[in-house]
Structure 1
Amino acid sequence: MRVSMLRLELIKSFLLAAVSTILLFLSGVAIPIVGVLMIPLVPQPALAFGLKWGRGHGAVLVALVAFLLALFGGKELALGYSLLALMVLLLLFSFGRDWPIEAVVAGTAGGMLLVASAVLGYFFGSFTLMQRVLRATLTENLEISVKVYEKVGFSGESLEMLRERAPQIIDVVLRIMPALAFMAFVTVILINLFFLYRRFPHQHASFVAAGDMREWKSPEPLVWCFILAGFSLFLPAGEWLKSLALNLFLIVAVFYFLQGLAIVAYYFHHKNVPYFLRSLAYVLIVFEQLFTLFVVGLGLFDLWGDFRRLKKKDLNPSQAS
């Protein structure tokens, strides 16, 4: 009797997670602008299901969803979902191994970036063709944005400046595309981990190494990657090497941004800052460039400044004194 009840609960959870995943994904694809906000939530039902019922069941779930999307929606929809499905599989694989959160996030985002690059390379056949198609797509999207800004009422001078600088903007975006993709993957992964933390408050240790996220810090050797990548930008080297260094520099900067964000959250928590002011500060950090750079600097110089006094906490009483 007990086995039958468990099996029935498993089937119900499986169907609910599958339907939720499909609805979230189709809503994200079909609904303009607002739908994009739903895309990061697409992996959540499968992750929660896999965390509760095991990796194998989670893998079957994402495989079934991909098959149904391919069957009824076409290869394009299935291919679009496959990257999120890969994220689910990589996260489920990393859960329960007592890995630190930076290893889980970086490993998953890195795996997604490698697979996405391989798939794009396979479909386009050459880097030149892929760059040409991406350039055309970005140019078209930029033109659409300019038309929208024109209708909203932006000044003609600003729009003309945007049109003039469009080729340079597109060149920069294409150059840092790997870093931008990595940042996007990290954001989606962290959003899903945040919701898993909320849904399973007593199971944190079952998917990442336990610890207060407000006390998180990036691995200390990472600073050498940051310094070497930054130094390489000024070397008289080829464009490909400079592009590689720039992308590595930006990817490492993501981790120092997250460390800076952890420092901000640490002091907000310990100083009991009202939630309204916290929300306002986070909005400024995300959307205001100066605040973003300040948080990156905060994370970087925490290596020497130890702004949360974490090193002192790790000492025994005689050492601390």
Structure 2
Amino acid sequence: MRPAPAPGHSGHQTGPAAVPDRVHSGAAALIPGRNLVKRGRGLRIWLFCLGALLLAFLGGQTNPVVFLLTGVLVPLPVLLVGWRVGPRAALFLALTTALAIFSLKPGLEIIKAHLGFGEMLLMGVLLSGFHARGMAPARAIVLTVVALSLLALVYLAGEAALLKLSPQELLAQKTREIMEMVKQFLEGGGSSTMPFGGTAAELEALVQGLLPGLVVANMGLVAWFNVVLVRQIAFALDRPQPDTQPLYHWAAPEWLIFVALGAGFLLLAPVKVLRFFSLNLLIILGLLYFCQGMAVVSAWFHRFSLPRIFRLVGYLLLFINPMMFLVIILGMMDLWFDFRRLHQPEEA
């Protein structure tokens, strides 16, 4: 047994004194240069993201294709400011952008016309706030989508009451608005052929039956995509942010598979409302299992240390129509096969 070290003399120090971390942080706070540099860097990031948001908005007004592409990335500048500067700066950025857009033509008309842009700004604010609280990315995405969905539901209920429309009539009206946007997007891209090779009437009927699920799934996919991007930007800037778990640990609750099975059986029900509800629920659950399947693929890429260019090509291929269904099936199979070994003991 190793003998215990001899006690030091009471009047002499035998080793380096332990200095609490708060002493170091307090000393760092007294250095004005470091704080000024940090504030200046944060201000530059904030101004850069503000300019990016305003350019994205103005560019989206000139071309429907640019509007769609930039609209997906609206939460990214807000998220980046939230990660690098703080959630309050992200909120201030979103408010400043909204006020700048409102100042172009003050009135209710511009607010109603750009509710989607405002929703994306709010998505970035919510994701930044949840990240600042140390919440896991998967849970932050789910809570953000739930909050935005409830907010949209309240808005639509108020609009239906104001216009004296039934839910079916409001759904048909929103479907026509979406179809008009699809036509503008296709015309802006130089194409007049409807997606999936159908007619406009057939596509409108399909969208009307799937609209609630498509809206929720679209919000979830946009939130997930922006979280992935902001993490990559943070790592590229050598400023990794601590998370409770990486995104390739995404896992849906195991009991959710029974909800999916129940929704599948409801498709056989003779009641139209039940089929409508179950079909939209399956779309939302499909997004959750798609994210889990992407997490499995990401874990495999990470395990084999593939170069970033191969990962990028692989991820893009997974968004092709047939591959997306295979990714969903992979996510569901992960419940039984545990491809990432998340549920095995450490000794295994």
TM-score of the superposition, structure 2-length normalised? 0.75
Q: Deviations over 1:203-250 (max 9, x none)?
A: 432xx4233x334322222222212222222234x3223222221111
Match of 2:155 in 1: 119
Amino acid at match of 1:195: L
Q: Deviations over 1:73-95 (max 9, x none)?
A: 43345533210121022112211
Match of 2:277 in 1: 244
1:297 aligns with 2:329: yes
Q: Deviations over 1:149-200 (max 9, x none)?
A: 9x8698xxx99x733xx43432221121122112221222122212221232
1:92 aligns with 2:125: no
User: Is the partner of 2:277 in helix, strand or coil?
Assistant: helix
Which deviates more from structure 2 when the two are superposed, residues 137-146 or residues 213-222?
A: 137-146
Q: Deviations over 1:100-143 (max 9, x none)?
A: 32211111112222222322333343323322323433555677
Query: In the TM superposition, what is the alpha-carbon distance from 1:303 to its structure 2 partner?
Result: 0.8
Q: Deviations over 1:6-59 (max 9, x none)?
A: 655554443333222211222234233244222222222222222333222221
* Larger gyration radius, structure 1 or structure 2: 2
Change in Cα spacing, 1:142 to 1:188, as seen in structure 2 (3 Å) is: closer
Change in Cα spacing, 1:29 to 1:80, as seen in structure 2 (3 Å) is: farther
Change in Cα spacing, 1:139 to 1:97, as seen in structure 2 (3 Å) is: closer
Distance in 2, matches of 1:215 and 1:132, equals 39
Distance in 1, matches of 2:79 and 2:314, equals 30
Distance in 1, matches of 2:277 and 2:191, equals 38
The structure with the largest helix share of the pair is: 1
Alignment of 1:262-301 (within 5 A): 262-271=295-304, 278-289=311-322, 291-301=323-333
Distance in 1, matches of 2:103 and 2:244, equals 39
How many residues are treated as equivalent by the alignment? 304
Change in Cα spacing, 1:235 to 1:259, as seen in structure 2 (3 Å) is: same
Q: Is the 8 A contact 2:137 2:227 kept in 1?
A: no
Alignment of 1:41-60 (within 5 A): 41-60=73-92
Distance in 2, matches of 1:294 and 1:23, equals 37
Amino acid at match of 2:121: A
User: Which residue, out of 153, 176, 185, partners 1:136?
Assistant: 176
* CA RMSD, Structure 1 to Structure 2 (Å): 3.2
TM-score of the superposition, structure 1-length normalised? 0.80
Amino acid at match of 1:122: G
Change in Cα spacing, 1:66 to 1:77, as seen in structure 2 (3 Å) is: farther
Match of 1:200 in 2: 234
Distance in 2, matches of 1:75 and 1:305, equals 49
Amino acid at match of 1:186: G
Amino acid at match of 1:194: V
Where structure 2 has 5 or more consecutive residues not aligned to the other structure, the ranges are: 1-31
Where structure 1 has 5 or more consecutive residues not aligned to the other structure, the ranges are: none
Distance in 1, matches of 2:275 and 2:192, equals 39
Amino acid at match of 2:245: A
Distance in 1, matches of 2:118 and 2:223, equals 15
